Amino acid sequence: MSDSERGTPEPSGAATAHPHAVDQHGVHTDPAALDELTDVAGAEPATGSGPDGAVTGYRPARTLRLGVELRRQLRRRRTQLLLAFVALLPFILVAAFEIGEAEADPRSGGFIDLATASAPNFVVVALFVSGSFLLPMIVALYFGDTIASESSWSSLKYLLAIPVPRHRLLRQKAIASALLSALAIVILPLSALVAGMIWYGAGEAISPTGDSIPFADSLVALALATVYLIVHLAWVAGLALLLSVSTDAPLGAVGGAVLVSILSQILNRITALGDLRDFLPTHFSFAWMDLIATDIEWTRMASGVLSATLFATVFGLLAARRFATKDVTS
């Protein structure tokens, strides 16, 4: 039987009746659509590699922006509760002094007994009682949690796969942790100053030696003391960061830094160590108290800044080296 007898349509008639062409596999295609897609693809820039091997258009500086990391950390309930507690702590201290009916006693020889003498004295006491454990713990929490938490959440490998360069990831995380730590440390004396002015008034700062510092000068001294604390606690930040890149357990990194701080404070109380205590990172923790005097002694504060800077630099370099060579699997 011939093709005409079987009713097979002519090729020209098929093209006229159906605008879609049929390829050799029997797939219907639209030539006009194919032409349009071809033109669009030709207009797209070709994906290539730059001199450093990166994909064209890739900018490391655009990955993990600092503002994004800060907003992410500020949204965490841990950060919000910690900052709220730091702001509330001075009012808890006020309640304790009010319940105990404490009265300022310049002859007692201690800052604690002078806490209710004036607002500046109350700020000094708030910093003093927080300096041994709370402030080091805050810094250790932010820095010890920064990389280890990403590992525990199994999100670190995805950050590196974006890709975020390792050195940039560590730097951005460290800067965000430093800003949050500094914010917490600054909130404490500000909140204490407000509470002190409400309950005890804006009087002179009185030292245990009997020196009286005008209110304006005492505010400058307290500002310098806050800056000193931020710089001094840099050694805790460096150690916590080193532990954070060395473990996948955030609590291990935070707890390790806090334990080292406690151990250093214990050893610092052993007078038998003599001058060896000068090499302990916490030996100059309270050197800022020398600012509450009419004749300020800067030697201990300078030694404290130097000690903290050296420890922080060593720990920071070790953390960077460890993270650069670490096999990230989580």
**pLDDT tens digit string along 252-302?**
999 999 999 999 999 999 999 999 999 999 999 999 999 998 889 899 999
* Global confidence as pTM: 0.81
Residue 250 is predicted with a pLDDT of 94
Residue 70 Cα distances to 73, 245, 298, 315, angstroms: 5, 19, 35, 23
Strands 212-213 and 28-29 turn out to be: unpaired
pLDDT reading at 174 higher than 60:
yes
Residue 34 is predicted with a pLDDT of 53
20 in Cβ contact with 29 (< 8 Å): yes
pLDDT reading at 13 higher than 90:
no
Q: What is the CA radius of gyration of the chain?
A: 32
**pLDDT tens digit string along 196-244?**
999 999 999 998 888 899 999 999 999 999 999 999 999 999 999 999 9
- Give the integer Cα–Cα distance in Å for 290 and 51: 56
82 in Cβ contact with 138 (< 8 Å): yes
Residue 175 is predicted with a pLDDT of 97
Residue 161 is predicted with a pLDDT of 82
The residue among 109 and 114 whose pLDDT is bigger is: 114
Band of residue 192 on the pLDDT scale cut at 50, 70, 90: very high
- Give the rounded percent of residues in the chain with a pLDDT score beyond 70: 79
Band of residue 124 on the pLDDT scale cut at 50, 70, 90: very high
Backbone angle region of 192, left / alpha / beta, with phi > 0 → left and psi within -120 to 50 → alpha: alpha
**pLDDT tens digit string along 49-96?**
445 445 555 677 777 889 999 999 999 999 999 999 999 999 999 999
Residue 31: other Cβ atoms inside 10 A? 10
The tokens 């100059």 sit on which residue? Answer: 284
